[in-house]
Homo-oligomer: A and B are copies of this chain.
């Protein structure tokens, strides 16, 4: 608690409070999306995003191999680029390492990083390695995008369809199986492995972008797409898009895409909770006109779905079109990072 005799500390205001405070030091136009967009030349904009991961906070040898830590760190950054509509150009890696980290551990981290990058023809283009009391991985990814094809959170219109590009809740389910291996006895070995893999090796949805902009930019000068990724949870994504766009939403609980393996394992209530709040599915959440949304979902398959509609009224509601459940207000859950005493 804050007491009169000591100054305000970062744990008092938390990560969100501090980020908000630090935005005062940034130009207004770069705030509020998964990544910053900079006009570089008339036809191209540069998109930049950065993440810091700390041993014991964001990864741990107890639960994550170094390959998986590397993969996940890169996947999260590439997902931020996808969320902006950008194609990756490269990443830089800043490493802080205690002296007793094994060289093999670092090699394996970089194996995971390059394996994740490889399908996208993207490379590690720079970095720094320094001594530190705690292993810290800082990744900056940059990509490029046609300025007319930038996807922002703030451009949703009332009446848009809300599309999610794939199943939700699987990553949280995979984490549960890792933390409690005794659970999920009813799962087939294949399904168990698939859920765990979804958590350990998420796939950034860079494949979605060409489907959104199939032709030259001039033929869709005003394609009305808004969106972000669901790394902090599907509920978080919908609420943030609505807040930034000054719209509301009605989301149908029966339309949330849950992987069959997860449906077969846990109760519908548990599955919906994980889908909305589990986080780290790294899918895209997009709003666009209904006809385009329908076309996109049919092209994507594999769990892509229209989950609801944006509205003029500002509330975000989870509804049941069959009337068995009362309407429920959706909100962002508290994030995963807190500046609390260890």
Query: Could you tell me which A residues sit within 8 Å of B by CB distance?
Result: 7-13, 15, 18-19, 21-22, 25-27, 30, 35-36, 38, 40-41, 43-44, 46, 48-54, 56-58, 89-90, 92-104, 106-107, 110, 113-114, 123-134, 136, 138, 140, 142, 144, 337-342
**Closest B residue to A34 using CB positions:** B126
Other 4 A-B pairs with CB < 8 A, given A27-B125, A54-B132, A133-B342: A11-B99, A13-B103, A22-B129, A38-B90
Query: Are B22 and A58 interface neighbours, CB within 8 A?
Result: no
Most buried by B among A96, A104, A140, A340: A140
Given A9-B102, A99-B339, A140-B140, A130-B52 contact (CB < 8 Å): yes
Contact partner of A92 among B50, B54, B133, CB < 8 A?
B50
**A300 to chain B: closest CB distance in Å?**
28
Query: How many copies, total?
Result: 2
A128 proximity list for chain B (CB < 8 A):
50-52
Query: A123 — which chain B residues lie within 8 A by C-beta?
Result: 26-27, 30
Q: Which residues of B contact A38 (CB under 8 A)?
A: 89-90, 125
Set of chain B residues within 8 Å of A44, measured between Cβ atoms = 40-41
Closest chain B residue, CB of each to CB of A94: B52
A22 touching B132 by the CB < 8 A rule? no
Contact check: which of B15, B97, B125, B131 meets A30 at CB < 8 Å? B125
Q: Which one of B10, B27, B132 contacts A136 once the chains associate, using CB atoms below 8 Å? A: B132
Do residues A22 and B110 form an inter-chain contact, with CB atoms below 8 A?
yes
- Please, how many angstroms separate the alpha-carbon atoms of A275 and B40 in the complex? 38
Known: A38-B89, A97-B10. A134 touches B131 (CB 8 A): no
12 A-B residue pairs with CB within 8 Å = A9-B103, A10-B101, A27-B125, A36-B126, A38-B90, A40-B41, A49-B92, A52-B129, A53-B130, A54-B133, A57-B132, A138-B138
Q: Which residues of B contact A48 (CB under 8 A)?
A: 90, 92, 125-126, 140, 142
**How far apart are the CA atoms of A101 and B8 in the complex, in Å?**
9
A133 touches B134 (CB 8 A): yes
A46 pairs with B49, CB closer than 8 A:
no
A206 to B109, CA, bound (A): 35
CB proximity of A143 to chain B, nearest CB, Å: 10
Query: Closest CB-CB distance, A225 to chain B, in whole Å?
Result: 21
Q: Which residue of the partner chain B has the closest CB to A95?
A: B52
CB of A172, distance to nearest CB on chain B (Å): 20
Q: Which residues of B contact A8 (CB under 8 A)?
A: 102-104
A10 to chain B, nearest CB (A): 5
A30's closest neighbor in chain B, by CB? B125
Chain B residues whose C-beta falls within 8 Å of the C-beta of A19 in the assembled complex:
127, 129
Identity of the chain B residue whose Cβ is nearest the Cβ of A80 in the assembled complex: B126
Partner of A140, one of B53, B92, B144: B92
Check A9/B101 contact, CB under 8 A, given A15-B129, A30-B123: yes
A41 to B340, CA, bound (A): 46
Distance, CA A339 to CA B103, complexed state (A): 12
